[in-house]
Amino acid sequence: MRKPRAAVGSGRRKQAARQEGRKKRALSSSQAKPSAPDACAGTIVWCPGAPAGLARQQEEVVLQASFSPYHLFRSTAEVTAFRGSLLSWYDREKRDLPWRRQAEDEVDLDRRAYAVWVSEVMLQQTQVATVLNYYTRWMQKWPTLQDLASASLEEVNQLWAGLGYYSRGRRLREGARKVVEELGGHMPRTAETLQRLLPGVGRYTAGAIASIAFGQATGVVDGNVVRVLCRVRAIGADPSSTLVSQQLWSLAQQLVDPARPGDFNQAAMELGAIVCTPQRPLCSQCPVQSLCRACQRVEQEQLSASRSLPGSPDVEECVPNTGQCQLCPPPIEPWDQTLGVANFPRKASRRPPREECSATCVLERCRALGGAQILLVQRPNSGLLAGLWEFPAVTSQSSEQHQREALLQELQSWAGPPPATHLRHLGKVVHTFSHIKLTYQVYGLALEGQAPVTTTPPGARWLTREEFHTAAVSTAMKKVFRMYEGQQPGTCKGSKRSQLSTPSSRKKPSLGQQVLDSFLRPHVPT
């Protein structure tokens, strides 16, 4: 039994020796030409000021992937300067946002983490201006994890309506229930446990909660941070690729300030949101401009284009034309002088959303008790817009005749046989979700007769127009209803439509009509 052990040990020693040999050859190559510009073939540029641990870490990274240290922070001085400049700027310029105030003022760690969690989930794929009102109403309604855990899914969907990406609200509720029912009401304290234990919490959200609420020195990478890091280190390869994504997370972890991790992460995101923007970035206001390789590249390109100075400009650069550095832009993508630093990051190629068609009908009972009512049905509990309410709909058919027949059959399953002659086509509404472009063919049908007293089947409900506007319906359904309201045919006579229209859209009656209306108006004794 000893021989196999010896063979395994010998194999490991040989492998280690080969790796050590590669490191020595790479290191000797970089030391042989200390004044040469950085190369892209995975060679190491020796930094005399870099600590041994940092140098070894960078050697391992570069040996594992073919990219140049030009894209790295290669000394503690650079890292310290970046942290100090960014945090000083953030202290002066940060926006006053309700979730930041709550995180700063809240003493209870679980309530602080909950406040950060809600804000980070709402801010995913959504602008700050849109989130402000939703966040305030959410925290007023459910100020604690326990409050949210006791809420119904219907209540959550109702408050979330219009914010988009509706599964986020559902998962927040699921996560709160898990914390309360399985974790004793206490939020996990580290990024690793947050990501592992809470549904819908990914690497970014876990890092944001852990750093802002609990002070864990962990970096985060969102869209804003991707843009900042790609420009600061001139990373032009596709940021969605595995290699580039791993490198960005590595840079974020290297840069995060251990003394103020939450503030640093928010500062990096703030920089990308208000200064290092996708188009027309405000480079003159950037606190880390002196460390930005994208700015250096812009200067180099401007000098080269002007040809005002002989020889090559003295600007450090990677060698993007060799095709070997996996963090540089592909050689087939030339530098666009008009974009400047916005040449970074590279825009990932996106698949166009698939196109789907649907026929939907606003069915209104004009003489229902309590006023006119419209029919809504609930979507399945999984998939697109799970659990939300919508107008009855069918997959769009090849011809309008087949479409009408299918829609009438769907309406009958919910509300009994409708008068087919009253069904009117009103137009179409196009709404794009994250991955689907959905075209709704909109129909309207007003039931003028006295509504029979019938039992509404499960999964359906009749709502007044006022109730509709506060119901858990998607933005797409609100667009459909606006089209219905804007069409005279198919709306109920005597309904409250006139109360919902804008003042500018109402035509003032003539003087003669006012006199006639006054004469015909029934007298009500006081």
Would you please indicate which residues are annotated as catalytic (active-site) residues?
A: 120
Task: Please tell me the total number of residues recorded for the chain in this structure.
Answer: 526
Fill in the amino acid letter for 483: M
Give me 330's structure tokens.
């592909």
Q: Categorise residue 516: left if φ over 0, alpha if ψ from -120 to 50, beta otherwise.
A: alpha
At 444 the three-state DSSP class reads strand
Q: CB-based burial of residue 252 (10 Å sphere; 0-12 exposed, 13-18 middle, 19+ buried)?
A: buried
* Cβ-proximal residues to 441 (8 Å cutoff; 6+ apart), any chain: 357, 358, 359, 360, 396, 403, 425, 428
Alpha carbon distance 148, 141 (integer Å): 8
Number of other residues whose CB lies within 10 A of the CB of residue 448: 14
State the distance between the two ends of the chain, measured CA to CA, in whole angstroms.
109
231 φ, ψ (degrees, to nearest 5): -80, -45
Alpha carbon distance 375, 515 (integer Å): 38
256 and 217 in contact (C-beta within 8 Å)? yes
239 and 326 in contact (C-beta within 8 Å)? no
CA atoms within 13 Å, Cβ hemisphere of 520: 6
At 236 the three-state DSSP class reads coil
* Cβ-proximal residues to 388 (8 Å cutoff; 6+ apart), any chain: 157, 161, 166, 378, 379, 472, 473, 474, 477
Q: What is the DSSP letter of 442?
A: E
- 424-432 vs 436-447, strand pairing mode: antiparallel
Closest among 277, 203, 217 to 83, alpha carbons compared: 217
**CA angle, residues 496, 477, 373, in degrees to nearest 5:** 35
